[in-house]
Amino acid sequence: MVARPGPKRALSEDEVLNAALALLDADGPDGASIRKIAGTLGVSPNAVYTYFSDKSSIEQALVERLLGELNRDAVSRADWREDLETLALDLRRRLTAHPGAVPLLLGGPMNGPEALQLGERLLEVLARAGLPEQAAARASYLIMIYVLGAVALEVADVPQAGALEPEASRIAARRAAMTQVPSSMFPRTAAAVDVMAQWVGTEQYVWGLHRVLDGLAASR
C-alpha cells in the first residue's frame, strides 16, 4: 500500500511572527531567515510565503505588532510628563524583553499604521504640554531618538545575542568589567565606575528622560 500524505500543518500569521521574534532574540538580526522560521515551525518555506513575501515584510510586521501592543496598553494621564514617562518606560520594557526587535526599529522607516498612531499620540501629549505645532513635531523626534538610542546602547552592551540577563546582573557584570580600568591612566573613569555601571539600568534611563522633558518644559 502507498502511504497517503497526512494533513497539512495549519499555520497562522501570529505563529510565523512568534517564531521570527524568538529566532531574532536568540541569534540576532540574521537569525530569522524564511528557511529558519519554516524549520522552527515544521513547515515548508512556501507555507511562510503564504503570509509574507520576504524577510523584510516579516520584520515590518513585527515592528507593527510590538507598537500595536504598546498603543493598545497606553493610558492617557492628566499630567503630560507622567504620560510620556510611562510611555517611554513601557517601550523600553518591551524592547529589552525582546532585544532582537531593537535593530528592526532602527533599521527601517517606521511608517506603518501603528507607528503613525504612536507618533500621533506623542504629538497629542506634547500639544497638551503647551508646545506649538512645529516644536511638538521636533520634540516627538527627540523623544524617539532618546528612547531608541538608549535602548540600543543598553542591548549592545551585552556581547552575545539572546535574552538579556536581569538588570541587576547586567549592572554587576558591567561594574566588574569596569573595575579593571587602570586608575592611573583613567582616574576620572575609575572614580565614576559605580555610576557608569548603571548606564544600562532604569535609573540612568529615567534620569536622561527627565533631562529631556525638563528641556521641553523650559522651551514652551
User: How sure is the predictor about 8, in pLDDT bands with cuts at 50, 70 and 90?
Assistant: low
**Residues in Cβ contact with 112 at an 8 Å cutoff, skipping those fewer than 6 apart:** 60, 63, 64, 67
Q: Average pLDDT of 172-193?
A: 95
pLDDT one-digit tens code per residue, 114-126: 999 999 999 999 9
Is residue 71 a part of any domain in this protein? no
Is residue 182 a part of any domain in this protein? yes
CATH code for the domain of 156:
1.10.357.10
User: How sure is the predictor about 200, in pLDDT bands with cuts at 50, 70 and 90?
Assistant: very high
Q: How many domains would you assign to the chain?
A: 1
- Cα–Cα distance, 169 to 177 (Å, whole number): 12
- Cα–Cα distance, 117 to 112 (Å, whole number): 9
Q: What is the pLDDT of residue 159?
A: 63
- Residue range of the domain that includes 88: 76-218
- Cα–Cα distance, 174 to 9 (Å, whole number): 45
- Residue 163 grid coordinates: 535574552
Q: Average pLDDT of 123-135?
A: 96
Of the candidates 127, 118, 9, the residue with the CA atom closest to the CA atom of residue 65: 118
From the number of C-beta atoms within 10 Å of its C-beta (0-12, 13-18, 19+), residue 42 rates as exposed
